[in-house]
Amino acid sequence: MSTQRYSVTPHPIETLLTWVKSGEIAIPEIQRPFVWDATKVRNLLDSLYQGFPVGYLIAWRNPNVKLKDGTTSSGKRTLIDGQQRVTALMAALLGREVLTKDYETVRIRIAFHPQEQRFEVANPAIRKDAAWLEDVADVFSPDASLTELTDTYAERNPDADRRHVSRVLEKLRKIINNHVGVIELDEDLDIETVTEIFIRVNSAGTELSQADFAMSKIAVNETFGGNLLRKAIDYFCHLAVAPEFLPAIVQADKAFAASEFLPRMRWLTETTDDIYDPTYTDMLRVAFTSEFGRGRLQDLVALLSGRNFETKQFEEAIAEDSFAKLKRGILAFMSKTHFERLTMILRSAGFVTSALIRGQNAVNFAYIVYLRGRSEGMPAAALERLVRRWYAMTVLRGRYTGAPETAFDVDIRQIEALGLATYTSAVIDNELPDSFWTGMLPQLMDTSSAISPYFIAYQAAQVKLGDKGFLSRDILVLDLMLNHSDVHHVFPTSHLKSQGLSRGKYNQIANFVLAQSEINIAIGNRSPSVYFGQLAEQAQSGKAVYGGITSEVDLRANLRMNCIPDVMLDGDIPTYDAFLSERRRLMALKIKGWFETL
């Protein structure tokens, strides 16, 4: 018995283009930026002209859907691999406009030199050169006459061999008869299998995420407004990082500008906050999980297709309801009030710059928690506290770093079952018992990664608690984070290198303090016994050498807020290993104190 779950059929390029024009094949990328540069389009045409293979296309037929009137609608094919190639062919051969990465609508013109049988991207010099046909789309126009094209070319190029030009143009036009293999996947395949096939067939080894499948499903559905919804997701993400782009969207996409979505994202032009710049995957995860109470994006793909999880059938009513719910989730995500409240909560916990945000999924679930709390009518102060504590816990425990979809699914289903406050409180208590702060966290801080979640949390703690920079009289850690700071080694690097220590040893996070550049430079490579001796003298004499603190009380306070054992000021300099052990303990206790304030 055959286990083949697909068919492979060669089709002429002309047929494929006809299917795309008629909608028989849906290209989800058609409304998204075309990422190929023009030279890739030229190379594709040259390969076809030379008779070289251009790879397979992969289409996945949508399942048949039961309509509300009881009849069945057969599913269209969705092109999941080959979108850029087909879009390139439509642009070059049919003269279709494409969207650039800057969302500008442009025509890609590929020129052809009949005498040299050479393709090139059209440019001003080529347009002035009679030996070139400046746009191959003229050859493929339905009303184009090869005889007229040849005559015109011969008139402009008297020395050209007319018969040769005629044969070459005929060969050029015949490239639409070249066959391309279309792998059509069975409609009942699950996403994991389709993804595996995609990765194996795709020569570039490009990964296709479940978010890509979801975006494809959204884009090709015009019945329930999916095409506009997809643009809303794309444009929002683009404006979040490039707010100056709004006028270009308004000018280039009149239909979208007139929709309900654009007014909901205009506020992005008034903000410079970069703490949370979401991708389309982030938006989908938050909107889907918060609205549907599920965490796996493959379920979103199934629901947008109309899947009834009980009967295993596909129903139009379920697809319609799913698009409506997703739209509601996307609009909630884009809300200025919601978005700014989330970033405000993160800032209030000490995560004041994008450098302190590591891992979007922790932020994503914090947003889900916030949106669920809003929908449950939780009091604002209680919700803010809950989101702060949940986010901090997930950062410290790496909750969404390994298998985020599984973690999302477990958490949201438990929230659905037990309620937001009950479940999150239980998880926080379980994940952060007293033994975590005194036993596990100091051990976890035995790392040389400056971007480890523990050093991130420590810096957020210093910001939140109003700590001053190492040996700074007035400059706060907050000021250093927002402007410029040096990560100073308490035991200087060159001092430790001279003792034969490795990079992983001298770059331990327990050897890091945030300091003003001038203080860091002044200390240089002096050993702790030397510069702490000078600091003790500074406290006695009142003459500043490092920083501006000249009071012993203030100096000891500064060392304590930077988790430096203040006995070092008494000349009691521990060994490097003993220092690291004690400082990890002190840093862990600071993080604990910080968490208790959230």
CA distance 504 to 266: 47
Q: Six-digit token pair at 463?
A: 């910001």
State whether 195 and 225 are in the same domain: no
State whether 279 and 259 are in the same domain: yes
DSSP 8-state secondary structure symbol assigned to residue 402: S
State whether 232 and 282 are in the same domain: yes
State whether 188 and 91 are in the same domain: yes
State whether 260 and 376 are in the same domain: yes
Is residue 118 a part of any domain in this protein? no
Mean pLDDT of 315-323: 93
For β-strands 98-99 and 65-66, DSSP reports them as: unpaired
Examine the fold and report which residue of 404, 432, 460 is the final residue of a domain before the chain moves on.
432
Query: CB–CB of 92/45 below 8 Å?
Result: yes
Examine the fold and report which residue of 411, 432, 453 is the final residue of a domain before the chain moves on.
432
Is residue 449 a part of any domain in this protein? yes
Examine the fold and report which residue of 156, 171, 201 is the final residue of a domain before the chain moves on.
201
Q: Six-digit token pair at 102?
A: 């800057």
Q: Tens digit of pLDDT for each residue in 139-166? A: 999 888 999 999 999 999 999 999 999 9
CA distance 169 to 569: 87
State the total domains in the chain.
Answer: 3
pLDDT at res. 62: 74
Is residue 146 a part of any domain in this protein? yes
Is residue 534 a part of any domain in this protein? yes
Is residue 172 a part of any domain in this protein? yes
pLDDT at res. 253: 84
Q: Tens digit of pLDDT for each residue in 388-429? A: 999 999 999 999 998 889 999 999 999 999 999 999 999 999
State whether 188 and 272 are in the same domain: no
Is residue 552 a part of any domain in this protein? yes
pLDDT greater than 50 at residue 168: yes
State whether 395 and 415 are in the same domain: yes
Q: What are phi and psi of 106, to 5 degrees?
A: -135, 160
State whether 482 and 385 are in the same domain: no
Is residue 100 a part of any domain in this protein? yes
State whether 454 and 381 are in the same domain: no
* Closest alpha carbon to 138 in 177, 103, 101, 107: 107
CA distance 592 to 455: 13
pLDDT at res. 75: 72
Q: Tens digit of pLDDT for each residue in 39-61? A: 999 999 999 999 998 888 888 87
pLDDT greater than 80 at residue 195: no
Q: Pick the more confident residue, 78 or 28.
A: 78
- Containing structural domain, residue 264: 210-432
Query: CB–CB of 67/73 below 8 Å?
Result: yes
Decide: residue 26, CB within 10 A, 0-12 exposed, 13-18 middle, 19+ buried: buried
Is residue 132 a part of any domain in this protein? no
State whether 71 and 155 are in the same domain: yes
State whether 171 and 315 are in the same domain: no
Q: pTM, whole model, 2 decimals?
A: 0.85
pLDDT at res. 106: 84
State whether 282 and 353 are in the same domain: yes
